Structure 1
Amino acid sequence: MVVKEAILNRKGAKKASEIPNEVLQLLNQGKLESVNLTEWLVINHIVLIKNVFPSIGLEGSLEFVVAELEKQNAKTGMKAIRMTGALLDKVILKESERKKKDLINKCSNHVSDSVRCWAAFMNKNPNDSLEDKLSYIRPFAADHHFGVREIAWMSIRGDLSQDIEKSLELLVDWAKSENENIRRFSVESIRPRGVWTKHIEILKQEPDKAFPILNLLKSDPSKYVQDSVGNWLNDASKTKPDWVIDLCEEWTKDTDIKSTSRIIKKAKRTILKKN
């Protein structure tokens, strides 16, 4: 099916009620990517499952997955994505290794960003090392779609926080990547407070542990990365304001360039509000 160019190039509605029926239908059919948070949140994952599963060879599991989602009233947003990924994990455990890889591949490369989000929550083998888990999630962290990138760090944040020392060690290499999305992941995935996720208490109390990563990115040319570094430090400022102030002063002396100044402005916004 060829999607109209006007639909592919749309800006996206500001309100769910303003999304054209044709766009909503294509989103729920898995034939179109969302272009903003409004569209991303309105997708009905139960309808999407009914449309997508038969096309990827999972028609036999459709009834089971839909029933579980309906039981939990998980139709849209994060809850539906997290549950669908976990249920798909259960489903593919019964398959041969070859079929399992094929299903993960189909979901990971699907045209629908929502289906790729399911895939980010798949392959949750508790015996995998942190290196293996990061290796699996890397393509999702580098995805061109904003929603998939957010789900990528959310799906692995729990694993990272359980062994923060090892995580920080591994993420230093991510912070050196040529891909701005990968560099951003190295910071966003371990924000002390994060968004829609549990806090990482040790980084709230000892933010200096993340210094090797933060320092690598203090002058990053990407605004996407700058925002993440600034937000990380703003999180830290709520428990360790003096540490953030000292770091920002150090960076100001050592690196007087526009990108660093932008990060510092974001980093100190909560501190400045209190003064």
Structure 2
Amino acid sequence: MVINDAILNRKGARKSSDIPNEVLMYLHDGQLESVNLIEWQAVNHQSLLKSILPSLDLEENMAFFLSEMEKQNVVSGMKAIRVVSELLDNVLKNESDEKRLEVLTIMSTHISDSVRCWAAFMNKGTSKTIEELLSYIQPFAADHHFGVREIAWMSVRENLSEDIEKSVQLLIKWASSSDENVRRFAVESIRPRGVWTKHIDLLKQDPEKALPILNLLKADPSKYVQDSVGNWLNDASKSQPQWVLDLCSKWENESDVQATSKIIKKATRTIKKQTINK
């Protein structure tokens, strides 16, 4: 089926009710990527499963998947991705390693960003080492789609937080990558507070542990990375404001470039707001 250029090059609706039926049909058939958060959240994962499971040779599990999703009352968004991933993991643990690899290969390279999101989350409940988890997740961290990249860091954040010192050492290499998406992952995956995730209490109280990564990126040329570093420090400022101010002052003296100035501005926004409100 050929999808016309008008759909492929669309900007995306501003609200879910404005998404064209044809676009939803392609999204639910797994033939199209979402182009913004509105579309990403509008995907009905039950409908998508009906289209995808046969291509994975897992159609015999269709009733189980749909029944479990109905029980948990999940249709779309982050929760649906988590549930589908868990169900796929449960089904595939009874299959051979070859079958699991075959399914993961198809999913991780699928045209549907939602299917790639499922694959990214299919590492939960495993006994993999941090090194193995990071190796598995790297292609998703580098994915061209914003949704897949967000799921990538969310899927391993809890594992990374269990041993921050080791995780930081492993992520130094990521922070030195030529790929801005991978560099951003190194920061976003261990934000002290993060978004839609549990806080990392150790980094809220002792943000200095992440300095090997933060220092590498204090003048990063990518706005994507700058925003992440600024947000990381803004997180830290809510529990360790003086530490953030001292670090920003140090960076300002060491790196008199626009990139660092942008990071500092974002990093100190909560501190400045609190000062104004006093």
Name the TM-score, length of structure 2 as normaliser.
0.98
Unpaired runs of 5+ residues, structure 1, are none
Report SS of the residue matched to 1:7: helix
- Is 1:73 equivalent to 2:73 in the alignment? yes
Give the Å deviation of 1:57. 1.1
Report SS of the residue matched to 1:174: helix
Cross-structure match for 1:173: 173
Say whether the 8 Å CA contact 2:29–2:51 is kept in structure 1: yes
- Tell me how far apart the structure 2 counterparts of residues 89 and 118 of structure 1 sit (CA, whole Å): 10
- Tell me how far apart the structure 1 counterparts of residues 64 and 86 of structure 2 sit (CA, whole Å): 13
The CA RMSD measured in Å over matched residues stands at 0.8
- Tell me how far apart the structure 1 counterparts of residues 126 and 140 of structure 2 sit (CA, whole Å): 19
Cross-structure match for 2:226: 226
Give the Å deviation of 1:63. 1.2
Give the Å deviation of 1:128. 1.2
Cross-structure match for 2:133: 133
Give the Å deviation of 1:75. 0.5
Say whether the 8 Å CA contact 2:188–2:194 is kept in structure 1: yes
- Tell me how far apart the structure 2 counterparts of residues 251 and 148 of structure 1 sit (CA, whole Å): 32
- Tell me how far apart the structure 1 counterparts of residues 59 and 201 of structure 2 sit (CA, whole Å): 43
- Tell me how far apart the structure 2 counterparts of residues 64 and 163 of structure 1 sit (CA, whole Å): 36
Give the Å deviation of 1:2. 1.4
- Tell me how far apart the structure 2 counterparts of residues 109 and 173 of structure 1 sit (CA, whole Å): 24
Give the Å deviation of 1:125. 5.5
Give the Å deviation of 1:124. 3.6
Say whether the 8 Å CA contact 2:123–2:155 is kept in structure 1: no
- Tell me how far apart the structure 2 counterparts of residues 78 and 142 of structure 1 sit (CA, whole Å): 19
Question: Runs (4+) of structure 1 moved beyond 3 Å?
Answer: none
- Tell me how far apart the structure 2 counterparts of residues 17 and 39 of structure 1 sit (CA, whole Å): 10
Cross-structure match for 1:37: 37
Report SS of the residue matched to 1:6: helix
Give the Å deviation of 1:146. 0.1
- Tell me how far apart the structure 2 counterparts of residues 161 and 199 of structure 1 sit (CA, whole Å): 9
Give the Å deviation of 1:65. 1.2
- Tell me how far apart the structure 2 counterparts of residues 187 and 122 of structure 1 sit (CA, whole Å): 22
Report SS of the residue matched to 1:75: coil
Q: Which has the higher mean CA deviation after the structures are superposed, 31-40 or 160-169?
A: 160-169
Give the Å deviation of 1:123. 3.7
